[in-house]
Amino acid sequence: MITLDDYFMGRREKYPAALTTEIERNAARTVDLANKLLTEAQSYGVTVDQHPANHSTVSSGWRPPEVNAATPNSAARSKHMTGQAIDIYDPDGDLDEWLMTGQGQAVLSALGLWMEHPSATKGWCHVQTVPPGSGRRVFYP
């Protein structure tokens, strides 16, 4: 299971001035929903590995503005900065593939999650707790 420590990736301590109560609340909700998603995926036989660099299923969690600006290909208004997005380590694309099925789409919808299209997220699965501008459950960044 993903913990808040996994999600914050040591950045709470390194960037305390950028962390607000609202981001903390958003992060708790994001982690809770990500864990529910992973539990559902597991019930369908989809497993997620741990990232070798941090021994967590989180590839990217909260990003303070400074970190986001230094992250290649990150959106200027990334939901990672508000604690409303998480990248789950998915090197083989198994989670992404399952989420693109009818079962996976139903789970995303039931949980109130949106995902970036797998073609844009090789090696990880990006999910967020707020809809993108397009409103589409699966969207392109």
3 state DSSP class of 42: helix
Provide the 3-class DSSP secondary structure of residue 79.
coil
Check if CATH label 2.70.98.10 holds for domain 4-139.
no
Q: What dihedral do alpha carbons 67, 35, 33, 59 form, nearest 10°?
A: 20
Mean pLDDT taken over the chain: 96
Chain segment 79-129, per-residue pLDDT in tens: 999 999 999 999 999 999 999 999 999 999 999 999 999 999 999 999 999
Measured at the CA of 121, the angle between CA 138 and CA 129, to 5 degrees, comes to 45
Q: Residue 73 pLDDT > 90, yes or no?
A: no
DSSP bridge pairs for 88: 58, 125
pLDDT at 51: 86
Note the pTM of the prediction, 2 decimals.
Answer: 0.95
Domain range summary for the chain, segments of one domain joined by +: 4-139
Local structure of 127: helix, strand or coil = strand
